[in-house]
Amino acid sequence: MQTETPAPVFKKSSLTQQQPGAKKRLWKSLKQILATERLLPWPEDAITYSSINPPPSFRPAKKYSDISGLIAFYTDPQTKLHYHNAEEFATVKSLPMDLTAGYLALRGASSIVG
């Protein structure tokens, strides 16, 4: 006596088997939604996909090493350059002041205090 194993409950049978006469669901990309949205007449205060501005993030911004571009875990207190490991710290310490100022200018940081 063999019993049939039931189909998993979490799967919708309508998604796996196409019912006769049913239309296939078409998905729109964000680009298509935005193009359609621009064509429709909207009131001035309507909230649309293109008018939504996200709030500022609560997470702190990631810092990247000025030397290698890897995620910087440390900052040199004297030069204010970000570095990833001890090898980069030795490089940061050996840099002349004009190169240090150049790295800070590339990052858009303020000038060296010291």
Is 66 part of any domain?
A: no
pLDDT in tens, 66-114: 999 999 999 999 999 999 999 999 999 999 999 998 889 888 886 555 4
Is 13 part of any domain?
A: no
Is 4 part of any domain?
A: no
Is 85 part of any domain?
A: yes
Mean pLDDT of all residues in 36-48: 82
Structural domain that includes position 102? 74-107
Is 103 part of any domain?
A: yes
Confidence of residue 14 (pLDDT cuts 50, 70, 90): low
Distance in angstroms (rounded) separating the CA atoms of residues 22 and 42:
32
Please tell me the total count of domains within the chain: 1
Q: Where are the beta strands (DSSP E) in 1-114?
A: 74-75, 82-83
Contacts of residue 18, Cβ cutoff 8 Å, sequence gap at least 6: 24
The amino acid present at 26, given as its one-letter code, is: L
pTM: 0.50
